[in-house]
Structure 1
Amino acid sequence: MTFTASQPTAGSEASATGLITVGDVAARSGVAPSAVRFYDNHGVINAVRTASNQRRFDESAACRIQIAKLAQRVGLTVREIAELLGPLPATPEPEDWNRVADMLISQAEQRVADLRAQLDALGSDAKLCEIGARVEH
């Protein structure tokens, strides 16, 4: 699995400053502007502030949000996602994204194994109230 950052769109502020607005990030990542601010507040993406205190993001912000959405589906918390993406450089290379992909694959495989163990326990003759004590979460 390979990840790459999105490219600037025509008419965006990126061509003038190298940074894009909350609205641009929202449009590119398919989330609401409030979600962009949420991810910024929780360290998944990082804004710089203009003189008028408006948030601006680098070109990788939309890609990072897409990866965050995928990581949430895998089962990671927003805090874990911030820890996963935090060490990435400002302009990640394909190798950086591939390391993130490897980590997500590992997390997804572990989650599948955990769910299989729970399914096996549910299929046993044990009482439901006993299963929770036997299967680790």
Structure 2
Amino acid sequence: MTQPKPEALLPISVVSARSGLAVSAIRYYEERGLVNSPRRVAGRRVYHRTVLRRLAFIAAAQKIGLTIAEIQAAMAELPIDRAPSPKEWARLSQPWKERIDQRIAELEGLRMSLEDCIGCGCLSMTACGILNPQDQAAEEGSGARWSGRRKSPEA
């Protein structure tokens, strides 16, 4: 690994400001091996400017819904000292596209289901595919059995 030029090094405060992440988040990602600080200047962490692309990569992965462990696995295929190339990005992001397509399909189904249950409020209506799929609440009796619950009993 070649040593970065001093002007290519950014203090953690600048990385934080430019990435929009808290300093603590950057340190957390460093602890997890997702980014690295090549050295310290006057006892303070400094990062090569390519860390900004790695942090953007992490943010994109999190928006898609990947866990830190999944992001670690993807980034383990990349050298730690540089940002992913367009070819590497395309290869790593391909499975994410499938995940996005699945989420889009789920959201479209949810949108269609909303028309059936807006305003019903009963939570045990047999047609409610959102709050009471397959009329599971009917097994517990009549009325709003799951009112206030965040998930069904089987979830």
Residue 37 of structure 1 aligns to a residue whose secondary structure is helix
Change beyond 3 A, Cα 1:23–1:129 = farther
Partner of 1:107: 99
Give a deviation string over 1:64-108, Cα, whole Å, max 9, x none.
212212211211111211211221133332211222332322232
Deviation at 1:132, TM superposition (A): 7.2
Deviation at 1:16, TM superposition (A): 1.9
1:80 and 2:64 are equivalent in the alignment: no
1:67 to 57, 67, 85: 57
Letter in 2 for 1:27: A
When the two structures are superposed, what TM-score results if normalisation uses the length of structure 1? 0.65
Residue 49 of structure 2 aligns to a residue whose secondary structure is coil
Partner of 1:96: 88
Structure (1 or 2) with the larger CA radius of gyration: 2
| Higher RCO by CA contacts (8 Å cutoff, separation 6 or greater) | 1
Unaligned residue ranges in structure 2 (runs of 5+)? 114-128, 140-151
2:135 to 115, 126, 135: 126
Partner of 1:40: 30
1:30 to 15, 20, 23: 20
Q: Which segment drifts farther, 29-38 or 82-91? A: 82-91
Change beyond 3 A, Cα 1:116–1:124 = farther
The number of residue pairs the alignment matches comes to 121
Partner of 1:50: 40
Higher helix share: 1
The answer (yes or no) to whether the contact 1:44–1:78 under 8 Å persists in 2 is no
Q: Percent identity?
A: 28
